[in-house]
Amino acid sequence: MTDVVPNDSEGRALTVRLATPRGFCAGVDRAIQIVERALEKYGAPVYVRHEIVHNRHVVERLRALGAVFVKELDECPDDRPVVFSAHGVPKAVPEAARSREMFFLDATCPLVSKVHVEAERHHAAGRHILLIGHAGHPEVVGTMGQLPSGAISLVETVEDARTFAPPDDSPLAYVTQTTLSLDDTAEIVRTLKERFPDLPDPHKEDICYATTNRQEAVKRLAEGSDLVLVVGSANSSNSVRLVEVALRAGARDARLVDDASRIDWSWFDGVQTVGVTAGASAPEELIQGLISALGERFDVTLREDDGARETVTFKLPRALTA
């Protein structure tokens, strides 16, 4: 698809390449719908433990509708619905909610839940688990919180993989955060397997289809783009990874922007082709707003790249559909 975006100014020519796929994934879409449906069905306020997804615009819109975002469960009253974020929570959180007889809705992405189940399976088989991920990320906190303390060791870097010392003689297994860089993770896994040749692979790749597709799309985008703009919030792991992947794939420059207002126009000095994509938690309207801002300043030719067409959907909790 090639469209010319009208521009009444006499700006210089700029080719804008738009990545496919981009923006919302099925897990993010489901999590947001859970909060929206809960507000419709039960009225405001609906409490949400942590940001439902890592995007400032999404959080602010839901807050305006009546969602109350809190850090911990003890900030929620017993008599209002509470939603757990898409990143997943430690087992202790729903247990605490049940003990208080709270009504809660779990918006954990099903692909994150798959990693939880996999970790539990390895633990039941007597394996010590290596979790490849970023310390402090809610998904990592949630995954480590599925099992007793000490059952999982966190591996963040290749250096961690080189120096990891097994706590005992138990066999090992690994799982990963779903939003990591494919290339970084592959290097960590290679390093671990050089040291522990019997380390089994997951039955199915832990890094989710949406992360994979967006990283492959941004690699294609980076080829021939002078600048790549990734729409997403700074606390969004998958969005930050897209910037890193674009730079490694050959983009001269790549930047993360929360929205069009965060563009520094000096980035465009000497730029003839800009690639545009978005992390899995960024709404499409932010991407269109960025393209409109480019069209007001430049004579833009818009080209949408070919890429994977995503048809995955996840069911909502039965309490919201009954």
Q: Which of 36, 139, 223, 310 is catalytic?
A: 139
- Residue 244: Cβ within 10 Å count: 17
CA 236, CA 145: separation in Å to the nearest integer? 21
Per DSSP bridges, beta strands 299-304 and 2-5 are: antiparallel
DSSP 316: P
**Residue owning tokens 């890094």:** 207
Residue 50 one-letter amino acid: H
DSSP, collapsed to helix, strand or coil, labels residue 302 as strand
- Residue 92: Cβ within 10 Å count: 11
Instruction: Confirm whether 187 is a catalytic residue.
Output: no
DSSP 163: H
DSSP, collapsed to helix, strand or coil, labels residue 228 as strand
Long-range contacts of 191-195 (CB under 8 A, 24+ apart): 191/158, 191/161, 191/162, 192/130, 192/155, 192/161, 192/164, 195/161, 195/162, 195/164
Catalytic residues: 139
